Amino acid sequence: MPTPPISSLVESLKSTPKPTPHRHHFDLQDFDPLDQLTDHGIPDADVYKGVHRPTGDLYGLRVISADKPESVRRFAYNHATSMCKIRAANIINYFDVLCAADYDEVWIITEYVSGESLRRKQISDEGELSFITKRILCGMRDMHAQRRACRNLCPEHLDRSGF
C-alpha cells in the first residue's frame, strides 16, 4: 500500500481541532489511588490510576517519593509545572502538581489514559507508524502554536488512547 503524499498529511494536521486550555487545582486528600500501573516507563515515579472522590473522575497519579534524591523531586516538580501549561492534541494533560514545602513527596495529577506504553512497543506496520507519527506531529504543532516546547517529549507524554 503506497504511503499518502506529505501534502495530505500536512492538510490533515491543519484540520485537527485544538483543545481548550484549562487548569485545575486539586487537594491531595481528595484522591484515592486505585491500581498501581506497572508498564508506565517513568523512572523515579510510582504511577497509579486514581479516583477524584468529589467527582468520581479517573486521573493518573505520578508519585515521586521522599526516598528519591531531592534533585529528582525538584526536577519532577519543575517539569510537571511546565507541562501543566501545555494543552495540545495527543499529549497527556498535566493538571496540577502537589507537594510539601520541602518537596518531600511530589504528586503529579495527569489525565488518565489507558493503553500500553509506546516505550516498548514494536511497530512494524507502516500504517500504524504513520498514524502515531501524525498524532505526535499534531501535538507538537499545538505546543508550538502556544509558544511552548517540551525538551523531553517521550512516549509517557503521549495520549495512547486509540493506539
Which residues on adjacent β-strands are paired with residue 59?
Answer: 50, 111
Helices (H), 48-125: 70-83
Which class for 108: exposed (0-12), middle (13-18), buried (19 or more C-beta within 10 A)? buried
Is residue 8 predicted with pLDDT exceeding 60? no
Cβ neighbour number for residue 76 with a 10 Å cutoff: 23
Q: So what's the pLDDT on residue 119?
A: 61
Superfamily name with CATH number, domain 6-112+126-157: Phosphorylase Kinase; domain 1 (3.30.200.20)
For residue 10, pLDDT over 50 is answered with no
pLDDT for residue 28: 79
In this prediction, residue 83 has a pLDDT band, given cuts at 50, 70 and 90, of: confident
pTM: 0.69
Calculate the alpha carbon distances from 72 to 76, 79, 94, 126 in Å: 6, 10, 18, 37
Instruction: Give CA–CA dist 98/52, Å, rounded.
Output: 14
Question: Residue 52's pLDDT is what?
Answer: 92
pLDDT digits (tens, 9 = 90+) for 91-127: 888 899 988 666 688 899 988 877 665 666 677 788 8
The cell numbers describing 67, all together, are 526516598
